Amino acid sequence: MRLATYRNLSPGASGDRLGVLLPDGRLADLRLCYASCLAEKEGEGRPYAMAHARIPRDMREFLQGGANALAAAQKALAHAEGALKAGKTPAGPGGEAAALAAGQYRLRAAVASPGKFLHTGLNSIKHVEHTGNKRPPEVPGAPRFTTSLVGHEEPVVYPRQTKMLDYEVEVGIVIGKRCKDVPRERAFEVIAGYTVYNDITARDIQRDPARGGVFLGKNLDTTNPLGPFLVTADEVPSPETLRVACRVNGQTRQDECLTDMIFKIPDLVAFYSQMTLEPGDVISSGTFSGVAIEQADPAPYLLKPGDVVECEVEHLGVLRNPIVA
The architecture that CATH gives domain 117-324 is: Alpha-Beta Complex (3.90)
Q: Higher confidence at residue 30 or residue 143? A: 30
Q: Kindly tell me if the per-residue pLDDT of 122 is higher than 90.
A: no
Share of the chain above pLDDT 90, in %: 90
Q: Span 153-179, mean pLDDT?
A: 98
In a 13 Å sphere around the CA of 8, the CA atoms on its Cβ side amount to: 19
pLDDT tens profile 183-231: 999 999 999 999 999 999 999 999 899 999 989 999 999 999 999 999 9
Q: For all residues of the chain together, what is the average pLDDT?
A: 94
State the Cα–Cα distance between residues 243 and 262, nearest whole angstrom.
15
Query: Which pTM does this prediction carry?
Result: 0.94
**Over 60: is that where the pLDDT of 134 sits?**
no
* pLDDT for res 141: 65
Q: How far apart are CA 301 and CA 310, in angstroms?
A: 14
For the chain, the 3-state helix, strand and coil shares in percent, each to the nearest 5, are 30, 30, 40
Residues 6+ apart with CB under 8 A from 106: 6, 7, 9, 151, 153, 154
- pLDDT per position as a tens digit, 285-324: 999 999 999 999 999 999 999 999 999 999 999 999 999 9
Q: What is the pLDDT of residues 74-91, one digit of tens each?
A: 999 999 999 999 999 999
| pLDDT band, very low/low/confident/very high, at 137 (cuts 50, 70, 90) | very low
Instruction: Count other C-beta atoms under 10 Å from residue 295's C-beta.
Output: 14
Query: Residue 286 burial (CB < 10 Å; 0-12/13-18/19+)?
Result: buried
Which of 151, 115, 286 is CA-nearest to residue 230? Answer: 151
29-65 exposure pattern, b = at least 16 Cβ within 10 A, e = fewer: bbbbbbbbbbbeeeebeebbebbeebbbebbbebbbb
Query: How confident is the model at residue 109, as a pLDDT?
Result: 98
Per-domain residue ranges of the chain? 2-107, 117-324
> Mapping DSSP to helix (H, G, I), strand (E, B) and coil, where does residue 83 land?
helix
- pLDDT at residue 138, rounded to an integer: 46
Q: For 263-275, what is each residue's pLDDT tens digit? A: 999 999 999 999 9
- CATH topology for 2-107? SH3 type barrels. (2.30.30)
For residues 13 and 59, which has the higher predicted lDDT (pLDDT)?
Answer: 59
Question: What's the CA gap between 203 and 206, in Å, rounded?
Answer: 5
Rg (CA), the chain: 20
Give the mean pLDDT of 239-262. 96
pLDDT category at 130 given cuts 50, 70, 90 is low
CB environment 151-174: b (16+ within 10 A), e (fewer): bbbbebbbbeebebbbbbbbbbbb
